[in-house]
Amino acid sequence: MKLGFLTACLPESDLTDIARWAATQGFEALEVAGWPDPDDRNHIRVDRFDDVERERVRRIFAETGLTLSSIAYYENNLHPTTGKEVNAHVRRCIEAAAALGCPTVGTFVGRDPGLPVRENLARATDVFGPLVEYARQHGVEIVIENCVMKSWHPDGYPGNLAYSPELWEWMFSLGLKLNYDPSHLVALGIDPVEALTPYLDGIAHVQAKDTQFLPGKINHYGFYGPISGEKGWYRFRVPGLGQIDWTRVIDALYEGGYDGVVSVEHEDAVWSGSTERVQTGLGIAYRTLRSLVHG
């Protein structure tokens, strides 16, 4: 395995600076943000990917010795008004990944909040069938993160239909792979190791994020959280500052034969607010995982 991180936590930094810092810290891979303008999470300019951009990115990874593990574009592919634009950008991400020798593109299934789950699953089959085939033709796999995305539903219900092992089985039947993130499973009361063990063949990428339970909050809000739809009783932390037993998780991945990248997804509000604080948070994650993740 290799240890890396998702660059979206450093939107104000250039990919060159991120890669050089990552290499000096001992990271071995980057999962690179590829959102379109005007979003500033665009460390690879997928929306205007040409020969110049391809050579720029290739040179950065050649000079630093890092691995480009995935191009990340996590948006709602089933949104009733913007879904087609999202689908089109996923295709651009696939083209860029193929040109760069990157094995995966990461996104969300999403959901149309105005439709019941079964109708969303039918729509997703129609949407992702052509996307998966396009990726296959380019030698790339689409990976779906198992984030709940409650903020995408007006009542705080799951907004990304990829949050449970039951849905992973459906995803795999479409040719999609899993970007496994244990933090979301813990927040659903699912044992992250028991969940991953039967599905290791479907995991093509791993994200490392932790979940911290906030004392007493669940007794006030309940499992579904506050009426605002926010989390309420838990928050995301960098690995080592939450509830997850990373020794157990990484050991299960090794035992199951996973040999890809473990990519830190930094969404820790405590270690945010400046480049320096984000880097400190990434350093905490590195020290937590370094003794566990090795080739």
Total structural domains within the chain: 1
Q: Is residue 277 part of a domain?
A: yes
Q: Over the stretch 192-208, which tens digit does the pLDDT of each residue have? A: 999 999 999 999 999 99
Phi-psi group of 116: left, alpha or beta (phi > 0 → left; psi -120 to 50 → alpha; rest → beta)? beta
Q: Do 9 and 72 touch, CB atoms closer than 8 A?
A: no
pTM, to two decimals: 0.96
Residue 193 domain boundaries:
2-290
The CA distance from 224 to 229, in Å, is 8
Q: Is residue 295 part of a domain?
A: no
Average pLDDT over residues 31-40: 96
Average pLDDT over residues 259-279: 98
- Strand-pair partners of 227: none
Q: Is residue 16 part of a domain?
A: yes
Average pLDDT over residues 163-185: 98
Q: What is the pLDDT of residue 58?
A: 98
The CA distance from 184 to 172, in Å, is 19
Q: Is residue 69 part of a domain?
A: yes
Q: Regarding beta strands 2-6 and 261-264, do their DSSP bridges make them parallel or antiparallel, or are they unpaired?
A: parallel
Both structure tokens of 32: 């690179």
Q: 248: how many CB neighbours lie within 10 A of its CB?
A: 14
**CB-neighbour burial class of residue 199 (10 A; exposed 0-12, middle 13-18, buried 19+):** middle
We report the CATH number of the domain holding residue 256 as: 3.20.20.150
Q: Do 161 and 120 touch, CB atoms closer than 8 A?
A: yes
Q: Over the stretch 89-139, which tens digit does the pLDDT of each residue have? A: 999 999 999 999 999 999 999 999 999 999 999 999 999 999 999 999 999
